A and B are shown apart, each in its own frame.
Chain A
Amino acid sequence: MLLEQKTVLVKEMLIKTIFAGFGGQGVLSMGLNLSQAAMSEGKHVTYLPSYGAEVRGGTANCTVAISDEEIASPVASSPDFVVAMNQPSLVRFQNQIQSGGLLFINSSITEPVVSRGDIEVIEVPASDIAEELKSPKSANMVMMGAFSKKTNLVLLSTLIEVLKNTFKTKKMLIDINKKALTAGYDLF
């Protein structure tokens, strides 16, 4: 038993992502979507939302950890990926990203001033694209599409499956969100 456990120790894949933005931007549902998608692809997953006084003043964030093994801590002090849907989130999280990590910015409403050279910045005009699709609320899904393309963490098709489950009875919403996801995915 001992030896078996030792052999799996070596190849540990652990990816942590923080989604952050204003309360109404659907950042928590982005995290949930990713978690459920990763779960249905057979990964270990934890999802941890911000709570309490941290959400006063109208901001929210959540952390998703995905791994092939048991996850020790759902907290990300240095995430691999950060998705910043607004300016305050960009300011707050850009310095925490791991060197070599990816920073996704909702460039429609955010000034992409990034002071670090060791991370890759991906500007996604998510709100503008959602506006064009005539559903401003699905900016989060546009971002999600771009996120899945760039990170390869989960398949686009899995994300769409998850959507179908989330909005079981609301076919309209499935279509809108699917469109948004695909639009984001096709950006890159």
Chain B
Amino acid sequence: MYGNAAIGEAAIRAGCQCYFGYPITPQNELTEYMATNLSRRKGCSFVQAESEVSAINMVYGASLAGVRTMTSSSSPGISLKQEGISYLAACELPAVIVNISRGGPGLGSISAAQSDYFQSTRGGGHGDYRTIVLAPSSVQELADLTHRAFDLADRYRIPVIILGDGMLGQMMEPLEFKYDAPSELPVRSDALRGAKGRPSRIVKTFTSRPTELEELNWSLFRRYRLIEKEETTYEIYLVEDAELVVVAFGAAARIAKGAIRNARANGLKVGMFRPITLWPFPYEKISELTQTTKHFLVFEMNMGQMIEDVKLAVEGKREISFYGRPGGVIPTPSEVLRVITRLYYQKGLKTEK
């Protein structure tokens, strides 16, 4: 199954009831999957919106009604959704937003890139808020993390972003679904469904009293602290004895892994650290690694965005190098292996005896 379709199927199995999208490459197969498979399910709805601005606002509406809802797009379309995401965050509404990202800036290229790291992890739109950001690196993980995204969104009443890329969305890999679609679709208890038998509810953020908004900001950030504590996720690979640790996420991480396998075969003690939640970012674990690792290499398919978080985590205790290919160029494992090898010897790191 294609990565894009895997997300769609996983969303349906997670009880996603409403999907709103707008065509954009390289995520079209997801929209098309929902058109074919969600539109005819009982109680479900699919709309091809007239723009991404509309699509995210439809998500806002469906989330108000208390159902699991999702939209997907690629970089330029995600830019248009930022206003809506800010409103979702402000109103504490759960939603899942998929970014099968591509090269930028501007119309850019439709090839896979990771240049939306800042946009995803820094809120993206206006105001003081965060969104949970999940970064899958295989088709299996696209499906698994989609399911998790819906759960997280509901548990913390927060928009969750799945940051994939054109390579993951377009490729096909063996895949297993761990859940069946629920027979009953969940409805949140705080939904707006008419004030029948209860006092009326208002969902809003605007206020003429700054202190009231300040209180909202505080309560959001208390929740964000909780998310940081509970939900930070990462993968480590051969780091125990590593002199050099490559830090990479998503598609870049699987490429790095291939390179590391070969580096190990050549006797270089290299490991990998892969953040799976980009926000919350696993600062603590990286900080821990500074005790055992001499050097970090951050590898991204952009000009260096996640490296800022790695620097925050390393706090100057170790040296950090960077290798990146922007614009939608997909580096090869052997290219990364060359970078690792050169760096390894330049820094005089110890090899296997």
What is A's interface to B at a CB cutoff of 8 Å?
2, 5-6, 9-10, 12, 32, 35, 39, 44-49, 51-53, 69-75, 77
Whether A35 pairs with B172 at a CB distance below 8 angstroms is yes
Complex Cα gap A71–B257 (Å): 9
Most buried by B among A32, A48, A53, A72: A72
What are the residues of chain A within 8 A of B167 when measuring CB–CB?
Answer: 48, 73-75
Whether B172 pairs with A46 at a CB distance below 8 angstroms is yes
Check: B305 CB closer than 8 A to any chain A CB.
Answer: no
Residue among A12, A46, A53, A77 making CB contact with B110, cutoff 8 Å:
A53
Q: Which residue of A lies closest to B166 (CB)?
A: A51
A73 and B110 in contact, given A10-B265, A45-B174, A51-B25 (Cβ under 8 angstroms):
no
Check: B308 CB closer than 8 A to any chain A CB.
Answer: no
Check: B171 CB closer than 8 A to any chain A CB.
Answer: yes
Whether A47 pairs with B174 at a CB distance below 8 angstroms is no
Check: B254 CB closer than 8 A to any chain A CB.
Answer: yes
Whether A75 pairs with B330 at a CB distance below 8 angstroms is yes
Q: B34-67: contact bitstring with A at CB < 8 Å (1 yes, 0 no)?
A: 0000000000000000000000000000000000
What are the residues of chain A within 8 A of B330 when measuring CB–CB?
Answer: 73, 75
A74 and B257 in contact, given A52-B26, A52-B110, A53-B110 (Cβ under 8 angstroms):
no
Residue among B166, B170, B255, B262 making CB contact with A9, cutoff 8 Å:
B262
A74 and B171 in contact, given A2-B238, A2-B240, A6-B264 (Cβ under 8 angstroms):
yes
Whether B172 pairs with A75 at a CB distance below 8 angstroms is no
- In the A-B complex, list the 3 residue pairs whose CB atoms are closest, starting with the nearest: A72-B258, A47-B172, A52-B110
Whether A48 pairs with B261 at a CB distance below 8 angstroms is no
Complex Cα gap A71–B167 (Å): 13
B112 CB, min distance to chain A CBs, angstroms:
9
Number of A-B contacts (CB under 8 A): 69
What are the residues of chain A within 8 A of B258 when measuring CB–CB?
Answer: 70-73
What are the residues of chain A within 8 A of B333 when measuring CB–CB?
Answer: 72-73
Complex Cα gap A10–B171 (Å): 26
Q: Which residue of B lies closest to A73 (CB)?
A: B255
Complex Cα gap A12–B110 (Å): 31
What is B's interface to A at a CB cutoff of 8 Å?
25-26, 110, 166-167, 170-174, 238, 240-241, 254-259, 261-262, 264-265, 330, 332-333
Whether B170 pairs with A72 at a CB distance below 8 angstroms is no
What are the residues of chain A within 8 A of B174 when measuring CB–CB?
Answer: 39, 44-45
Whether B265 pairs with A75 at a CB distance below 8 angstroms is no
What are the residues of chain A within 8 A of B264 when measuring CB–CB?
Answer: 5-6, 9
Whether B170 pairs with A49 at a CB distance below 8 angstroms is yes
Q: Which residue of B lies closest to A74 (CB)?
A: B171
What are the residues of chain B within 8 A of A44 when measuring CB–CB?
Answer: 174
A9 CB, min distance to chain B CBs, angstroms:
4
Q: Which residue of A lies closest to B264 (CB)?
A: A9
A95 CB, min distance to chain B CBs, angstroms:
16
Complex Cα gap A145–B125 (Å): 54
What are the residues of chain B within 8 A of A49 when measuring CB–CB?
Answer: 170
Residue among A12, A35, A74, A75 making CB contact with B261, cutoff 8 Å:
A12
Whether B26 pairs with A51 at a CB distance below 8 angstroms is yes
Whether A45 pairs with B173 at a CB distance below 8 angstroms is yes
What are the residues of chain B within 8 A of A5 when measuring CB–CB?
Answer: 238, 264
Whether B172 pairs with A77 at a CB distance below 8 angstroms is no
What are the residues of chain B within 8 A of A12 when measuring CB–CB?
Answer: 261-262
Whether A72 pairs with B110 at a CB distance below 8 angstroms is no
What are the residues of chain A within 8 A of B241 when measuring CB–CB?
Answer: 2
Complex Cα gap A2–B264 (Å): 11
What are the residues of chain A within 8 A of B171 when measuring CB–CB?
Answer: 46-48, 74
Q: Which residue of B lies closest to A40 (CB)?
A: B174
Residue among B25, B238, B259, B265 making CB contact with A72, cutoff 8 Å:
B259
Not counting A45-B173, A47-B172, A77-B332, a sample of 12 additional A-B residue pairs whose C-beta atoms are within 8 angstroms of each other reads: A2-B240, A5-B238, A5-B264, A9-B261, A32-B172, A47-B171, A48-B172, A51-B26, A51-B110, A53-B25, A71-B258, A72-B258
Q: Which residue of A lies closest to B110 (CB)?
A: A52
Whether A9 pairs with B265 at a CB distance below 8 angstroms is yes
Complex Cα gap A75–B328 (Å): 12
What are the residues of chain A within 8 A of B259 when measuring CB–CB?
Answer: 72
B287 CB, min distance to chain A CBs, angstroms:
22
What are the residues of chain B within 8 A of A45 when measuring CB–CB?
Answer: 172-174
What are the residues of chain A within 8 A of B262 when measuring CB–CB?
Answer: 9, 12
What are the residues of chain B within 8 A of A73 when measuring CB–CB?
Answer: 167, 254-255, 258, 330, 332-333
Whether B173 pairs with A51 at a CB distance below 8 angstroms is no
Complex Cα gap A53–B173 (Å): 23
B170 CB, min distance to chain A CBs, angstroms:
6
Complex Cα gap A53–B256 (Å): 28
